[in-house]
Amino acid sequence: MNYLNYAKSLNANNEVLNWISHNLVNYLKENKEDQDEIEHIIDYLINDNAPYKLIKTSYEQAKIKAEKWTKKLQNKGEHIKETKKDTEVVLDFKDGFKIVKLISKNAYDREGFLMRHCVASYYGKDTEIYSLRDKNNMPHCTIEKDNQIKGKGNGDIHPKYIDYVVKFLEHIGMTVGDNEMAHLGYVNIEKLLDDIGNKNEIKKDIFNKKYFPKNKKELLKDNNGNVLNNLNMLDVFPLIEEQQNTIKIAFDIPLLVTASIEYIRKSIKKLTINNKLKSSGDNAQLAGGYNAQLAGGDNAKLAGGDNAKLVVGKGGIAVGDNKSIAKGKIGSCIVLCERDNNYNLVNAKAVIIDGKIIKEDVWYKLEKNQFIETTFNAND
Residue pLDDT, tens place only, 291-308: 888 888 888 888 888 899
At 32-61, the pLDDT tens digits run 888 778 888 888 888 755 656 788 889 999
For residues 187-214, average pLDDT: 92
Instruction: Tell me the C-alpha to C-alpha distance, in Å, between residue 85 and each of 51, 59, 107, 210.
Output: 35, 39, 9, 37
Residue 313: pLDDT band with limits 50, 70, 90: very high
Rounded CA-CA distance 243/113 in Å is: 27
HEC string of the chain?
CCHHHHHHHCCCCHHHHHHHHHHHHHHHHHCCCCHHHHHHHHHHHHCCCCCCCHHHCCHHHHHHHHHHHHHHHHHHHCCCCCCHHHEEEEEECCCCCEEEEECCHHHHHHHHHHHCCCHHHHCCCCCCEEEEECCCCCEEEEEECCCEEECHHHCCCCHHHHHHHHHHHHHHCCCCCHHHHHCCCEEECHHHCCCCCCHHHHHHHCECCCEEEHHHHHHCECCCCCECCCHHHHHCCCCEEEECCEEEECCCHHHHHHHHHHHHHHHHHHCCCCCCCEECCCCCEEEECCCCEEEECCCCEEEECCCCEEEECCCCEEEECCCCEEEECCCCEEEEEEECCCCCEEEEEEEECCCCCCCCCCCEEEECCEEEECCCCCCC
pTM of the model: 0.63
Do the Cβ atoms of 239 and 253 come closer than 8 Å?
Answer: no
Do the Cβ atoms of 60 and 75 come closer than 8 Å?
Answer: no
pLDDT reported for residue 144? 92
For residues 76-92, average pLDDT: 88
The full set of domain ranges for the chain reads: 3-76, 84-182, 249-373
Beta bridge partners, 241, equal 248
At 332-373, the pLDDT tens digits run 889 898 989 888 888 888 888 989 899 999 999 999 999 999
pLDDT reported for residue 241? 64
**CB within 8 Å of 112: residues ≥ 6 apart:** 70, 73, 74, 77, 118, 119, 120, 121
Closest by CA position to 40, among listed 105, 119, 151, 123? 119
